[in-house]
């Protein structure tokens, strides 16, 4: 594919300063992510992964399904209600209020289908404060899926799951989106599930390559002192 045939940029930064208030995390970031790409963001804690994800979201918020690391679930509400909140933008105020009190059969079924795909069918009307850490993480992922937006932005979405469950859920989640940028620490998952890996250290891009060209040893070097 030549340059004229390449998909248009989905996200683009050129010499961008990214940070928090007066704190600079990326002094001059150059980065392009194109529609159709699946990208894993790797790097030690504090390298800028969450800062970059937040900046990506600001560029294309209406296109992005968002799964933050802190989950931001409502503990006293059920799995159903927390997943349903991912779709609030798709429905009117009255319908959303009614769903909080007395969801219709169609609303229950649509959320239940997402919950079942995440192994949460039996917890649909259990309050989030009664879930395990892994179940809560899957609920947060379900909320992102229920937004039904084409681009997934996620920060450690399967870190509380075991290796096999994390692999299966991540692959299924990626199949539901046409593009994705996901921050993680699991190097094996990055190589198994994503087409491109970006490595960050101290607010700089130190690695940007197709995953097929990389090994675990290459990715381990990102975490060396």
CB 32 within 8 A of CB 12: yes
Q: Which domains, from first to last, does the chain contain?
A: 3-67+76-223 (3.40.50.300)
* Residue entry with tokens 């069918």: 121
Residue 5 — very low, low, confident or very high, per pLDDT cuts 50/70/90?
low
For residue 210, what are the β-bridge partners? 196
- Quote the pLDDT of residue 97: 87
Note the pLDDT of residue 198: 98
Residue 192 sits at the vertex; the CA angle it makes with 190 and 198, to the nearest 5 degrees, is 30
Confidence of residue 161 (pLDDT cuts 50, 70, 90): very high
pLDDT tens, position by position, 106-136: 999 999 999 999 999 999 999 999 999 999 9
Predicted local distance difference test score (pLDDT) of residue 20: 86
Contact 42, 198 (CB under 8 A): yes
Mean pLDDT of the chain: 94
């Amino acid at each position: 594919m030549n340059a004229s045939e390449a998909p248009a940029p989905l996200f683009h930064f050129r010499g961008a300063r990214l940070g928090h208030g007066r704190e600079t995390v990326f002094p001059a970031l150059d980065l392009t992510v194109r529609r159709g790409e699946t990208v894993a963001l790797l790097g030690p804690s504090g390298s800028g992964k969450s800062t970059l994800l937040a900046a990506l979201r600001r560029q294309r918020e209406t296109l992005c399904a968002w799964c933050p690391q802190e989950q931001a679930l409502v503990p006293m509400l059920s799995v159903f209600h927390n997943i349903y909140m991912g779709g609030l933008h798709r429905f009117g105020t009255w319908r959303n209020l009614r769903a909080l009190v007395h969801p219709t059969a169609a609303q229950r079924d649509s959320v239940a289908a997402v919950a079942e795909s995440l192994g949460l069918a039996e917890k649909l009307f259990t309050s989030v404060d009664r879930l395990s850490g892994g179940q809560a993480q899957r609920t947060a992922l379900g909320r992102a899926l229920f937004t039904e937006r084409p681009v997934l932005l996620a920060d450690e979405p399967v870190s509380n799951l075991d290796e096999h469950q994390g692999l299966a859920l991540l692959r299924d989640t990626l199949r539901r989106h046409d593009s994705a940028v996901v921050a993680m620490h699991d190097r094996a998952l990055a190589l198994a599930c994503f087409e491109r890996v970006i490595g960050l250290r101290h607010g700089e891009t130190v690695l940007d390559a197709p995953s097929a060209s990389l090994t675990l040893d290459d990715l381990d070097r990102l975490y060396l002192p």
